[in-house]
């Protein structure tokens, strides 16, 4: 047994040879090999090239004839909140019936209801609920995940969420990057007055972040910097403290307005600025110059009936764009990144090739995973998708149709 698998006669979207982040029109260059072949071994890609150039004499255990079908990198979901307790299906129902946020909040809904339900679960229960979601996401083609905390808002629960995220990343064929988002919302107990609020932010700086760093639980630090959440000044303090502790920034920015988040992301050199429903030419330029990846979350626009972010303008202005699910219990419980890819086209006006780059290579770059994910090149993880078509645009054209034939993670089939 060589442990080698060979995939033959495929249209391979390698995304090879890319710059650190594909920007602007370069996002469209998928570096396609027509009639390509790929060899995997020990969970990694061993060889990729034209079928005609396949090395002779290779001992292969397992040959797959693709008959012209597409092979592409597995999805990388660079913005999720997938570790949470309970669900908010009742709240969705209220919203569809026309209830406004105040009414939902009064009925016990909103983000703080997820905080209460998450605090109530022990680590194993939280793991179990989260692993069920992750399993569905894997079946939809995602094998690498960013996972944020932020439904604890107290030290103990934040640590528990991040530990669960780390445990999910220990599963076979699952890659996880964790993000401390303890500045996700101001919790009930800190809403009394400005003093209580300031004390909450101080505790993030003095207790939560140091404890998270001591246990090496977070690869990134994120803040919900927007109207109704945290101010630019509060965000700057949190991210500065994280940087002292060696934790690089990413940011929820400009979801509700031109509220300074995008400019701050550029100022601090965040890996990613996410949402960006409101983004003018000056803000786009700032993100481009700072090399910040602009992350679109079009599922959230759909669920909340908001306008879609203008992805077309971002690409045309030379930004590197990623697309993610935002999977969370309230504003977007969507798990299928392949569907969100289609929304990024129909809603945010990306081209199919740009959206494919956005959910693979660019997402991997934003997570510091470009050396192992998001492209099909020798040495990278054997995480890839077989499509049931010879034209990857079918993922967008027939959005939601079953074109995902098989999902491979670390060289093994993900069960359907």
| 286-299 burial: b if 16+ Cβ within 10 Å, else e | bbbebbbbbbbbbb
Q: Considering the complex, what minimum distance in angstroms separates the CB of residue 262 from its own copies?
A: 23
Q: Considering the complex, what minimum distance in angstroms separates the CB of residue 385 from its own copies?
A: 15
Angstrom distance (rounded) from CA 210 to CA 246: 10
Q: Considering the complex, what minimum distance in angstroms separates the CB of residue 390 from its own copies?
A: 12
Residue 295 bridge partners (DSSP): 274, 322
Q: Encoding tokens for residue 91?
A: 């709240």
Residue 29 engages its own copies in binding (rule: CB under 8 A): no
**Within a 10 A sphere around the Cβ of 98, how many other Cβ atoms?**
7
Q: Considering the complex, what minimum distance in angstroms separates the CB of residue 180 from its own copies?
A: 26
Single out the segment in contact with its own copies by CB under 8 A; choices: 85-93, 246-254, 278-286, 376-384: 85-93
Residue 334 engages its own copies in binding (rule: CB under 8 A): yes
Cα Rg of the chain (Å, integer): 21
Residue 398 engages its own copies in binding (rule: CB under 8 A): yes
Q: Considering the complex, what minimum distance in angstroms separates the CB of residue 350 from its own copies?
A: 7
Single out the segment in contact with its own copies by CB under 8 A; choices: 169-177, 180-188, 298-306, 376-384: 298-306
Picking from 48, 122, 77, 110, the residue whose alpha carbon sits closest to that of residue 297 is: 77
Residue 100 engages its own copies in binding (rule: CB under 8 A): no
Torsion of CA 30, 35, 40, 44, to 10 degrees: -10
**Within a 10 A sphere around the Cβ of 112, how many other Cβ atoms?**
17
Q: Considering the complex, what minimum distance in angstroms separates the CB of residue 354 from its own copies?
A: 9
What is the distance in angstroms between the CA of the first residue and the CA of the last residue of the chain? 26
Angstrom distance (rounded) from CA 297 to CA 198: 30
Residue 44: which H helix or E strand, with range? Answer: strand 44-50
268 or 343: CB nearest its own copies: 343
2 or 401: CB nearest its own copies: 401
Residue 415 engages its own copies in binding (rule: CB under 8 A): no
Of the residues 9, 44, 64, 139, which one makes contact with its own copies according to CB under 8 A:
139
222 or 354: CB nearest its own copies: 354
Residue 390 engages its own copies in binding (rule: CB under 8 A): no
55 or 307: CB nearest its own copies: 307
268 or 334: CB nearest its own copies: 334
Angstrom distance (rounded) from CA 297 to CA 325: 6
Q: Considering the complex, what minimum distance in angstroms separates the CB of residue 12 from its own copies?
A: 19
Question: What's the DSSP call for residue 272?
Answer: E
Residue 335 engages its own copies in binding (rule: CB under 8 A): yes
Would you report the helix, strand and coil content of the chain in percent, each value rounded to 5? Answer: 40, 20, 40
Angstrom distance (rounded) from CA 174 to CA 409: 7
Single out the segment in contact with its own copies by CB under 8 A; choices: 261-269, 333-341, 357-365, 406-414: 333-341
Residue 98 engages its own copies in binding (rule: CB under 8 A): yes
Question: What's the DSSP call for residue 28?
Answer: G
Q: Considering only residues 140-199, where is the footprint of its own copies by CB under 8 A?
A: 140
Q: Considering the complex, what minimum distance in angstroms separates the CB of residue 297 from its own copies?
A: 14
Of the residues 29, 35, 267, 391, which one makes contact with its own copies according to CB under 8 A:
391
136 or 191: CB nearest its own copies: 136
Angstrom distance (rounded) from CA 185 to CA 115: 10
Q: Encoding tokens for residue 151?
A: 């439904």
Residue 47 engages its own copies in binding (rule: CB under 8 A): no
Residue 36: which H helix or E strand, with range? Answer: strand 32-41
Single out the segment in contact with its own copies by CB under 8 A; choices: 83-91, 108-116, 147-155, 247-255: 83-91
Angstrom distance (rounded) from CA 254 to CA 310: 12
Interacting residue ranges for its own copies, rule: CB under 8 A: 87-89, 92-93, 96-98, 136, 139-140, 299, 302-303, 305, 312, 333-336, 339-340, 343, 345-347, 349-352, 391, 393-394, 396-402, 416
């Amino acid at each position: 047994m060589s442990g080698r698998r060979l995939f033959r006669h495929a249209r391979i979207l390698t995304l090879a040879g890319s710059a650190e982040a594909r920007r602007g029109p370069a996002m469209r260059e998928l570096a396609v090999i027509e009639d390509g072949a790929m060899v995997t071994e020990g969970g990694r890609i061993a060889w990729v090239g034209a079928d005609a150039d396949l090395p002779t004499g290779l001992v292969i255990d397992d040959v797959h004839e693709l008959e012209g079908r597409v092979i592409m990198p597995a999805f990388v979901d660079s913005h999720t909140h997938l570790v949470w307790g309970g669900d908010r299906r009742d709240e969705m129902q209220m919203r569809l019936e026309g209830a406004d946020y105040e009414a939902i909040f009064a009925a016990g809904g909103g983000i703080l209801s997820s905080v209460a339900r998450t605090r109530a679960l022990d680590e194993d229960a939280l793991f179990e609920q989260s692993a069920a979601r992750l399993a569905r996401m894997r079946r939809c083609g995602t094998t690498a995940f960013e996972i944020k905390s932020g439904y604890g808002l107290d030290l103990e629960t934040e640590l528990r969420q991040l530990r669960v995220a780390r445990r999910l990343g220990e599963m076979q064929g699952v890659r996880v990057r964790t993000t401390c988002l303890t500045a996700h919302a101001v919790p009930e107990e800190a809403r009394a007055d400005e003093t209580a609020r300031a004390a909450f932010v101080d505790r993030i700086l003095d207790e939560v972040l140091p404890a998270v760093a001591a246990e090496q639980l977070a690869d990134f630090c994120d803040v919900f910097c927007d109207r109704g959440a945290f101010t630019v000044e509060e965000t700057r303090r949190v991210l500065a403290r994280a940087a002292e502790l060696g934790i690089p920034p990413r940011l929820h920015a400009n979801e509700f307005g031109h509220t300074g988040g995008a400019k701050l992301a550029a100022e601090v050199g965040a890996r990613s600025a996410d949402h960006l429903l409101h983004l003018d030419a000056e803000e786009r330029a700032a993100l481009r110059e700072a090399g910040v990846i602009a992350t679109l979350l079009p599922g959230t626009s759909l669920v909340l009936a908001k306008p879609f972010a203008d992805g077309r303008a971002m690409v045309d202005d030379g930004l590197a764009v990623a697309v993610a699910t935002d999977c969370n219990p309230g504003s977007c419980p969507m798990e299928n990144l392949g569907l969100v890819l289609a929304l990024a086209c129909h809603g945010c006006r990306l081209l199919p090739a740009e959206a494919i780059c956005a959910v693979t290579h660019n997402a991997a770059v934003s997570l510091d995973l470009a050396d192992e994910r998001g492209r099909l090149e020798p040495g990278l993880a054997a995480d890839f998708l077989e499509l049931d078509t010879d034209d990857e645009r079918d993922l967008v054209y027939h959005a939601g149709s079953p074109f995902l034939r098989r999902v491979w993670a670390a060289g093994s089939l993900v069960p359907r």
